[in-house]
Amino acid sequence: MSKDKIILNSINPLELYGEGNDKINLIKSYFADLKITPRGLELILEGNQSNIDIFKKYFSLLLNYLKLNNELSKGVIKDILSNSFDQNNINVDFQLFGKHGLLIKPRTMSQRKMISLSQENNLLFAIGPAGTGKTYTAIALACKALKEKYIKKIILTRPAIEAGENLGFLPGDLYDKLSPYMTPLYDALNDIFEKEKLNYYFKNNLIEIVPLAFMRGRTLDNAFVILDEAQNTTIEQMKMFLTRMGPSAKFIICGDVSQVDLPKSQKSGLVHASNILKSINGINFVKFTESDIVRHKLVKSIIKAYKK
């Protein structure tokens, strides 16, 4: 029997232990052969030395994540301790300063994985439930690339399923017609850019709003292109969109396959693409789950209830 301890320097024990010790109890559940006793800023470890060494290895990953993010969710704890993560994703270096000095950085392991894979691949699918930050992360990546001049423009598109892609009956110009469908994208852009700067980008076509149906025949190059609500594309629309990709373009496709609004007779282009493209080198997928939800805690419960 061996005994050891870990001293929690510069760590908020409440963030590590959780309310009612729910987080530290979750951590304990992964190490049943080890006696783990929290005492303020110390963790007392008792058990076989090899088990202690394994615990300290994984615990260092938890502490590293907490230091980088100032928070540690139970979902992240499960990802790290169940080995369902890439250790390199923890150390993804991504920071973007938005409007009024707002610091934008990844908040979950899946967002970090999305950033890491986007840096490695020019075509990325981000699939998962509402509230996981898929679209916001994509927008942040695009804006950082535009600010640092890695690309010449950002192109945003989203299927206007309610209007059948026929936006002519709505008043105003193309920007006005598409605005109701693009609100989540505008919200993210407004977090990042001051109004004057954002207006400049729109006016000079550096940020472009394009109805999905109007992209046929184009070649999109030197651009960061985001397709949101991709679950509402048909197979034909998805094929058309993906084949617009120029040599220097970066594409991110975001969607939630649990919220398909297409007629039941039509298969989602996102579901179809995720099945036929998953083995192609250079294309990658990030799967978000309920544990990645960063909205109100009730959203997780709501989504679980609807799944049942």
Q: How do residues 41-64 score in pLDDT, each as one tens digit?
A: 888 999 989 888 888 888 888 888
Our measurement of the distance from residue 148's CA atom to the centroid of its chain's CA atoms, rounded to an integer in Å, reads: 21
CB 92 within 8 A of CB 286: no
Looking up tokens 């400049």 gives 200
Same CATH fold assignment for domains 2-81 and 93-307: no
The size of the chain, in residues, is 308
Q: How confident is the model at residue 226 (pLDDT cuts 50, 70, 90)?
A: very high
CATH of segment(s) 2-81 = 3.30.1370.10
What tokens does 242 get? 């993906």
CB 89 within 8 A of CB 116: yes
Element (DSSP H or E) covering residue 107: none
Strand duo 42-47 + 96-97: pairing? unpaired
Domain spans, the chain: 2-81, 93-307
CB 132 within 8 A of CB 292: yes
**Which range in 61-70, 86-95, 176-185, 291-300 is most confidently predicted, on average pLDDT?**
61-70
pTM score > 0.85 for this model? Answer: no
Fold of 93-307: Rossmann fold (3.40.50)
